[in-house]
Amino acid sequence: MYPKVEINLRGIIENAKTMKEICKKNGKNYCLITKVLADNKEIVKALVDSGIDCIGESRIQNLMAYKDIKAEKWLIRIPMFCEVEEVIKYSDVSLNSELSVIKALNEEAKKQNKIHKIILMYELGDLREGCSKEELETIIEEILKLSNIKIYGLGANLSCYGATIPTIENMNELISVAEDLEKRFNFKFELISGGNSSSYKMLVNGELPERINNLRLGESIFLGNIPCFEEPILEFKRDNFILKTQIIELKEKPSIPRGKHYVDSFGNIPTFVDRGIRKRAIIGLGKQDINLGGLIPQDAEILKLGGSSDHIILDVTDSKNQYKVGDEITFKLNYSGVLNLMTSKYVERKIV
């Protein structure tokens, strides 16, 4: 059935193993962020069986699906009050920045007779989740009074919202905050998690300070790409996710719609370039399934024109392929494309 994503499991596993060797060589470990897989238990189990010992998810529902997989499980999105019970039951570690949530986790951990580990998040400039140093001092003072919460580490997020890149300066800032907190409260963070796949350059160049001993990695392993810099990792397998679609209409039409027009069905005002009469192919996939920016046609002569909820319109005029209705058109995917498609229940996933 179309559309379908073909997944190169061997390539992903090879990347994961290579990354583990790179991290070990540089004195680091990593948590594999599996959210792009959207609860695909078969792939996650294969990765754990290959030697991955820590997986991270932003959705507790996915960790619930992985409950029988033997690995340390992190919830990497700040827990919601409504999911506290499941967080304690299905995750070993959660990232946190709100004292009220941590206290709720502690009460639930008491009920379940568990010790729950947390990584406190410091705001390092990207302006997503994270506390100021002063707020961390207040939070830690209160956490140390709690019976069923263990402070596991200090972390920071970079690149995801504000596109702030990791640097020696902000990594040293994170370490400085960690060491000041350790000195004040007379304890030691087991790990300092210095970011995500955007830290890969610093990792391989030996620029990550010694105390940054953990990274949270997803895109670099699944797609062989360094986010923020948008650079390939040359020794990694890159095309581990290929989208295959089918043409449902193929006709010559004008480049510009007729009649009066204003906003489209998504509330946007479209713009059009008059290229005259063009051969346009419609594929059975739409914005409900993917952001068009996530698609990279393997036929470089295909031009993406736009789409609606259930249709994507392509200009195939300049292609050397003589397409017909029913033919297959394939795409490479960026990270957002994989994330969208793997979440859509209308797209088949096939491991090859």
Pairwise CA distance, residues 130 & 136, whole Å: 9
- CA dist., res. 218 & res. 16, Å (int): 9
Q: Is 41 a catalytic residue?
A: no
Buried b (16+ CB within 10 A) or exposed e, 288-304: ebbeeebbbbeeeebbe
Q: Which two tokens stand for residue 335?
A: 């990270």
Beta bridge partners of 246: 328
> Shortest CA distance to 229 belongs to which of 221, 237, 220, 238?
220
| C-alpha distance from residue 252 to each of 248, 264, 276, 316, 317 (Å) | 14, 22, 10, 10, 9
Provide the Cα torsion 205, 206, 212, 217; round to 10°.
Answer: 40
C-alpha 93, offset from chain centre: 18
DSSP state of 83: G
Strand 348-351 and strand 328-333: the pairing is unpaired
- Report the C-alpha gap between 36 and 196 in whole angstroms: 14
Which stretches within the chain are classed as H helix? 9-25, 41-49, 60-65, 84-90, 99-111, 133-143, 168-185, 200-204, 219-223, 335-343
DSSP 3-state of 246: strand
The catalytic position among 20, 28, 35, 73 is 35
Q: Can you tell me which residue has the tokens 């997944």?
A: 7
Catalytically active residues are: 35
